[in-house]
Amino acid sequence: MAQRVAAGHNIGDILLREGLITNAQLEAAVARQHETEQPLVRILVESNFLDDKKRLNFFRRHFGTPVVTIEREKLDPILYTYIPGSLARRHHLVPVKLDRDGLVVAMEDPSDLALLDTLKDIAGMRIKPVVASSAEILEALNGYPAETEESVEAAAAKRFDPVARFLAVFFWPIMSAAMLVGIFVLILNHEPFQKWLQNAINAENASRGTQIFNLFLYFFLSWGIWTLVVFEVGGLVFDDMKWADEQDLGPPRSAGKARLLSIFLGFLGADRFYLGYTRMGVVKLLTLGMLGLWWVLDIVSLFAGQLPDAAGRPLE
């Protein structure tokens, strides 16, 4: 007699407890999963162990996942660029819509949290899972172009370290806000600056309109120019990030040395220079690690093992 699979909190055990699959079917699917490393739900559906309508109702009832209908001809081709085709086909999922607050992805198994985290890292935005029929997902997957080495490399480039992806979005807003806060701090607490600003605004025989213009000139215009500069710098450094060539970069970098540099000289960009991120190192140096924020983020990222060298290789 086959031994009963122990009940737990994974999706197979929940489906078993709900009576949607039998113990023998689960055991067979788990055995095949160990051989092929395919997702469990994919195996259950492919083997006709899990009825598609019951799967949709199950995820809607237990996880509150919306059920959608996919019409391939209405899918924007740009959606296929957010998730690599190889990953989409393996897990039987497809992006179906881009909302203001995330990417809507139709999935066979929206309960796979590890997969959702991976999709979020690759797409660089929040993932909003929905469920759709397996036949509709399969039809939509046909919209993916044939993958070439170039497309695979482009997908890999999206997997830059979390700190770089964060700064690609928030570098200029943070630096712009820092400038604004700095100006207010000077106005409120720095007496020499207060006197200089007062003299500049209250010029001799200056009219009210002139004083307002001087305030705009010295305050808002300076802040606006700074914001424009950091926006351009951020675009230059963080847009179109690509891995460096391994031969040009040289041998793999040491994780221990990178961590030490990050702790003691990270605010000067020494860790980024060491790992081969020259442009990021320069910006980190000039901003003193974004006044400490980038410094701390890189330290955490290095100790978490999430910061590779500039060629995308794990640190040794």
Nearest Cα to Cα of residue 283 among 227, 228, 222, 236: 236
Parent domain of 204:
162-238
Contacts of 278 (CB under 8 A, 6+ apart): 272
Q: Does 257 lie in the same domain as 233?
A: no
Residue 157 in any domain: the answer is no
Amino acid type, 4? R
Considering 148, 172, 204, which residue would you say is the last residue of a domain?
Answer: 148
What are the helix (H) ranges across 142-277?
149-157, 162-189, 191-201, 208-215, 221-238, 246-249, 255-265, 270-275
Q: What is the pLDDT of residues 259-289, one digit of tens each?
A: 999 999 999 999 999 999 999 999 999 999 9
Q: Does 233 lie in the same domain as 250?
A: no
Structurally, the chain folds into a number of domains equal to: 4
Q: What is the pLDDT of residues 26-78, one digit of tens each?
A: 889 888 888 887 888 888 988 889 888 999 999 999 889 999 999 876 788 88
